[in-house]
Chain A
Amino acid sequence: MIDEKQALELVEMALSASTADQSEVVVYSSDSALTRFSNNYIHQNVFESNVHISVRSIVDKRIGYSSTNRIDERAVREMMARSVEIAKRRPPNPEFASLPGQSDYPQAQPFSEETAHLPPEVRARSVATLIERVREFDLSAAGSYATSGSLVAVGNTLGVRAAARLSEASLKTVVMGEDSSGYASAISNDARAIDAVKVAEMAVDKTLKSATPVDLEPGRYKVILAPEAVADMIAFLAYAGLSALSVQEGRSFMAGKFGQRIVDERISIWDDALDARTVGLPFDFEGVPKRRVELIADGVAANVVYDTFTANREGKSSTGHALPAPNPYGPLPTNLFVGEGRSSASSMIASLDRGVFVTRFHYTNLEDPLKTILTGMTRDGTFLIENGELTAGVKNFRFTQSILEALSKVSLVSAERELVESMLGLAFVPYLRIDGFNFTGATRF
């Protein structure tokens, strides 16, 4: 993995070869390792070192892209020339205004060199610790322990120069018994914060408690969703409609609803890559500083996130949420937060006479982005709640449910929140009690 100085030198070398009206260069470099285990042993164990450089060149509002992972001067010059050649081959985009200009950046999050280059035997020892604890209960563990160091550097011909590194450690496990399973995870920018024993014990607890699962008829239930399940739902909500592009194209549930209540007032959702409770860069892939954006405030549709192109369309400023160009998605929030409530997870369970506790969802997918109808399965720890207690594991359900409708039926929000991975990056989210959730089918385990 190259460092900030080397990356910015690469950016300068590329930009010096630009013959376009404007050019933007992004360098991404990473050293990433992942130790994977199943059936209580390590079965895959991998490392990758990569550097990737990409360019967006603009000639008379015509945009060309090119990228390579060869970083010698000749290859980079060829890439720059190719992007201009491509740009000249396409019609102009009249809506393109400009790349962003120079900015000051917030301080990057602490970078752990030790985490970025954690030796394989250290990862193996952590996995051994987890497996050892799981074996004590005659259970079987599968999972992964991933560590990485990554760097993003952005520069353009208007003076943008930004570079930052991120370190990340992520331990996940699915513990399996004869007829039940349990999931737990931990993620941090510092591997020292990963507690393998705690992760093992959380997953073991769910596995043991959900043993001998009962059949429960599909139907409408009061549910407690744990953070993994909440994050899945919120990420799909953001994907469906919290991007300026989706609003501008009329395919977002936010279109025409700004200032109106769209979910329960207990729900506030925002994106904030600068918050120390998540892992994020201080700028986006255009080199625009990241800003906190209130997306849904006390149940009211507030804002969406912008990149430079979508912001220019509305005469606004980018919020610093550009993804690597080119992409069909537009800007997206990748460090989501859901505001905390006052309940504890245990008191939320205690509040229900009858309901279902969901640890996480599996294979969720949107059927209707405007109505935010999501389907998916429950997995790795689904429980029947009776008289305020988890009384039995439940065979997994299929749900078909509007996310907005679910968030309109929130009656309790936990004070405790957890950082979990989602399909859009990371989310720091609480437990939610939802008084009416549609389980439309069930499976056999």
Chain B
Amino acid sequence: MKDISSRALDLAESLGASYADVRIVEEKTESVSVKNGQVEEIGDRSSQGAGVRVIVNGAWGFAASFCLDGNEIDRITALAVDIAKASSLVKGEEVVLSPAPAVKGSWTSPFEIDPFVVSLDDKVSLLLGADEIMRSVKGITLTRSEMDFFRTKKVFASTEGSFVEQETTESGAYISATAIREGDIQTRSYPNSHGSDSAQAGFEWIERLDLPAHAGRVSEEAVALLSAEACPSGKTDLILDANQLALQVHESCGHPIELDRVFGMEASYAGTSFLTPEKLGNFQYGSPHVNIAADATLPRALGTFAWDDEGIPAQRADIVREGLFVGYLTSRETAPRLDQTSNGSMRADGWNRIPLIRMTNINLHPGDMPLEEIIAGTKDGVFMSTNKSWSIDDKRLNFQFACEIAWEIKNGKLGKILKNPNYTGMTPEFWGSCDAVANEKSWRVWGLNNCGKGEPSQIMHVAHGASPARFRGVRVGIGK
């Protein structure tokens, strides 16, 4: 790999690049899914290639190829230079990178049981077992379960002398049961919806999720929802379960703190951000109960690494401190505009994409109260769990989330279940209404492997630590 990277970097410099980096990436994935008692898919995929990123005349160019042959590396390097020259025809200010010391080394994410060594028979058998339990509940129409495993080997080298190798292994799984009756469709999932709950771990993560132990409950709740009352409309106190709060953090905090969004670089696609630079250190994002940090060093979380895709060492940065907005996710290009240096948030989805500012592990710190105490202190409200759908405006202010299930809270106790719950709000007001975050006992890290951004589209694996939290006077039951 060193031969390939040196060849590309030397050529880029000789063609006039003031900076160049190359990433050589090899990815391997395996997926197993079961639907309604049948194996839906067992498949593996592999992909490899190299991407060369250059600065010429103060502008960016990037070219990538699946072929690691020396001549092809020369071709894409020269093409990256030509592309950068084309970019410089319509140039803004010259690209200036924040300083970064050259780094060398290697890092491998830990795992106990190599998921690619565990037999397919064991994987299929585990899912079929959970599926059978789900289907044994009367009234269930559809069942689906899935496990996914990812291994990524990545080399990063730059003309500044960096050369690092990293290897990550990720594992995830989920189950879901759907009940359909007379125009009503209700789904329950475990441990989370939309694909899987993943971690930087091996097959031990799947074993710890213990899918069969939750299969019966998931089905029973889906069937019970068919007969449940709809979540009422109005303003009420809302307690969000940690799996939903993780997505709330993702959409209403994680994306608006991406400094490339703030500077308009995503304006034509995902949008910009309400967290404009003058708000840094001066804006009350939430109540004093709200403390959020970006932490790329959190063991076993999907957003963890040793160096980002610009060679910046992983770090932890405060984002919201006692409700005050204090930090962004930054890159070497964007940080200098705030007189900062990069805090290491650049990652690319594979060899064929440029790095963008991506969430690492954006965590809502646990509070002091046990969840039971928060519920006991709620006279009239709703407890919602597990995301069903999500939507937020292009500056990340107005959001609306639907959840799979809710429970009524009356006089400090969870009561009957409610179907089709949803809630809406404006980001600062919503976080400003937070008056309790549950303590460490109910805090855990949720792995999301479907975060989309950029053109061409990139999907990133990120994580969010969260425990349940309470929000006062939230509008629920929209569109009923």
Chain A interface residues toward B at CB < 8 A = 32-52, 54, 64-70, 82, 86-87, 89-91, 93, 95, 119-121, 123-125, 127-128, 131, 140, 142-144, 146, 172-174, 176, 249-251, 326, 328, 362-371, 373, 375-377, 379, 396, 398, 400-401, 438, 440-445
Contact = CB atoms under 8 A, between A and B. Distances in A.
A87 B44 CA distance: 12
25 contacts: A34-B456, A38-B267, A40-B92, A42-B89, A42-B91, A47-B62, A52-B66, A67-B43, A69-B66, A86-B42, A86-B120, A89-B121, A89-B124, A120-B86, A121-B89, A124-B89, A143-B268, A249-B142, A362-B393, A375-B389, A398-B393, A398-B424, A441-B398, A442-B398, A443-B393
A49 B38 contact: no
B46 interface: yes
B141 interface: yes
B268 A174 contact: yes
Interface in B7-66: 31, 33, 35, 38-49, 59-66
Given A44-B265, A69-B66, A34 B41 contact: no
A207 B395 CA distance: 17
B385 to A, nearest CB: 16
B66 A51 contact: yes
Contacts of B271: 362, 379
A398 B63 CA distance: 39
B60 A45 contact: yes
Contacts of A174: 267-268
Contacts of A176: 264, 267
Interface stretch (B177-185, B235-243, B284-292): B177-185
A38 B65 contact: no
A173 B268 contact: yes
A253 B432 CA distance: 40
A377 B42 contact: no
B352 A120 contact: no
A46 B456 contact: yes
A144 B267 contact: no
B87 interface: yes
A174 B89 CA distance: 21
Contacts of B178: 251
Contact of A91 (B35, B39, B44, B183): B39
A51 B64 CA distance: 12
Pick from A48, A142, A249 the residue with the most CB of B within 10 Å. A48
A125 B89 contact: yes
Nearest to A173: B268
Nearest to B403: A367
B391 A377 contact: yes
Nearest to B185: A370
Given A90-B39, A400-B400, A69 B424 contact: no
Contact of B455 (A66, A86, A91, A144): A144
A365 B389 contact: yes
| A interface, over-half SS | strand
Contacts of A65: 41-44
Contacts of A91: 38-39, 124, 128
Contacts of A371: 183
B426 interface: yes
A124 B141 contact: no
Contacts of B180: 250-251, 370
Nearest to B128: A91
A89 to B, nearest CB: 4
A150 B86 CA distance: 23
A64 B42 contact: yes
B18 to A, nearest CB: 16
B194 to A, nearest CB: 11
Pick from A35, A46, A371 the residue with the most CB of B within 10 Å. A46
Contacts of A67: 43-46
B456 A438 contact: no
B402 interface: yes
Contacts, number: 258
A253 B354 CA distance: 40
B79 A47 contact: yes
Contacts of B424: 398, 440-441
Interface string B59-97: 111111111000000001001101111110111100000
A50 B39 contact: no
A383 B59 CA distance: 38
A375 B391 CA distance: 7
Nearest to B61: A45
B83 A326 contact: no
A401 B479 contact: yes
B90 A398 contact: no
A42 B265 CA distance: 10
Contacts of B48: 69-70
B420 interface: yes
B394 interface: yes
A74 to B, nearest CB: 13
Interface in B253-291: 263-269, 271, 274
Given A46-B456, A69-B49, A251-B180, A121 B86 contact: yes
Given A121-B89, A441-B424, A49 B65 contact: yes
A128 B59 CA distance: 15
Given A49-B66, A251-B178, A377-B393, A142 B267 contact: yes
B185 A369 contact: yes
Contacts of B107: none
A367 B90 contact: no
A1 B144 CA distance: 37
Contacts of B80: 47
B44 A445 contact: no
Contacts of A39: 92, 263-264
A52 B89 contact: no
B43 A47 contact: no
A373 B397 CA distance: 21
Contacts of A35: 86-87
A361 B426 CA distance: 18
Nearest to A93: B38
Contacts of B62: 44-47
Nearest to B475: A441
B83 A120 contact: yes
A259 B298 CA distance: 56
B133 interface: no
A31 B468 CA distance: 46
A445 B394 CA distance: 10
Given A65-B42, A65-B43, A377-B394, A368 B64 contact: no
A396 B49 contact: no
A43 B92 contact: yes
Interface string B125-154: 000100000000000011010000000000
B400 A441 contact: yes
Contacts of A368: 185, 420
Nearest to A90: B39
Given A69-B46, A121-B85, A251-B185, 17 more contacts: A41-B90, A45-B84, A46-B353, A65-B43, A66-B43, A89-B121, A120-B86, A131-B90, A142-B264, A249-B142, A370-B183, A370-B184, A377-B398, A440-B424, A444-B398, A444-B426, A445-B397
Interface string B363-384: 0000000000000000000000
A249 B141 contact: yes
A146 B264 CA distance: 19
Interface string B157-193: 0000000000000000000001010011100000000
B87 A396 contact: no
Given A68-B45, A89-B124, A377-B391, A443 B398 contact: yes
Interface string B412-439: 0000000010101010000000000000
Contacts of B395: 443, 445
A200 to B, nearest CB: 13
Contacts of B61: 45, 120
B451 interface: no
A92 B124 CA distance: 12
Nearest to A396: B393
A47 to B, nearest CB: 4
